[in-house]
């Protein structure tokens, strides 16, 4: 069960022969919530004034689940990455891609198709569609987002990075899958 997952502070003492490594990348339009998700999960804070990511940021975290230790490595990317050259090693090495959808922006919904094409050209890993900003003025309904996810046969989660809603559930799902 998800409740069995616990974080550990002493990273070096956790490495065992049962350590599993999970790599995932955050992709999506600028201002869709990638960095807020990254900061909320890895640093337990919500950035008030985020200037946007330039380049890439990496963070690691050790998590224990049953008899296994998982080392999570996450890459936060800038929102205009599809117009630049994202090193393929980030995508090729990934077990999952979290594709962010800003639920307050219809443009974000329109751009998902382009992001999916970009991902499919460079990776064959699991894709999760993450609808962010559920606690803001929505322009995209849950039904619209679920329908879009279903059309690509990918899982859909709704989160609020600001209010810390469903962030851990997304990560737990990646681990369990």
Q: How far apart are alpha carbons 126 and 66 in whole angstroms?
A: 23
| pLDDT-based confidence at residue 83 (cuts at 50, 70, 90) | very low
Higher-confidence residue of 6 and 96: namely: 96
Q: How far apart are alpha carbons 82 and 32 in whole angstroms?
A: 14
**Amino acid 65: pLDDT:** 81
* Six-digit token string for 57: 């940021």
| pLDDT-based confidence at residue 68 (cuts at 50, 70, 90) | confident
- Kindly state the average pLDDT of the residues 122-150: 95
Taking only the tens place, the pLDDT of each residue in 99-115 is 999 999 999 999 999 99
Model confidence at 133: pLDDT above 90: yes
Burial letters for 76-100: b for 16+ Cβ neighbours within 10 Å, e otherwise? bbbbebbeeebeeebbebbbbbbbb
**Amino acid 67: pLDDT:** 83
Taking only the tens place, the pLDDT of each residue in 155-170 is 999 999 999 999 999 9
- Sign of the C-alpha dihedral, residues 142, 147, 150, 152? negative
* Helix, strand, coil % in the chain, rounded to nearest 5: 35, 30, 35
Question: Directed axis angle between helix 34-43 and helix 167-176, to 10°?
Answer: 80
């Amino acid at each position: 069960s998800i409740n069995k997952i616990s974080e550990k502070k002493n990273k070096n003492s956790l490495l065992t022969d049962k350590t599993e490594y999970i790599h995932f990348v955050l992709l999506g339009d600028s201002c869709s919530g990638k960095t807020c998700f990254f900061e909320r999960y890895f640093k337990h804070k919500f950035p008030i004034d985020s200037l946007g990511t330039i380049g890439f940021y990496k963070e690691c975290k050790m998590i224990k689940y049953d008899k296994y230790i998982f080392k999570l490595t996450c890459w936060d990317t800038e929102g205009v990455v599809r117009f630049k050259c994202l090193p393929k090693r980030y995508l090729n090495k990934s077990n999952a891609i979290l594709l962010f959808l800003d639920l307050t922006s219809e443009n974000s919904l329109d751009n998902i198709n382009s992001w999916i094409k970009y991902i499919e050209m460079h990776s064959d890993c699991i894709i999760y569609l993450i609808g962010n900003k559920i606690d803001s003025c929505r322009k995209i309904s849950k039904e619209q987002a679920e329908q879009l996810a279903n059309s690509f046969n990918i899982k859909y989660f709704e989160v609020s990075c600001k209010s810390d809603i469903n962030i851990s559930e997304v990560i737990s799902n990646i681990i369990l899958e």
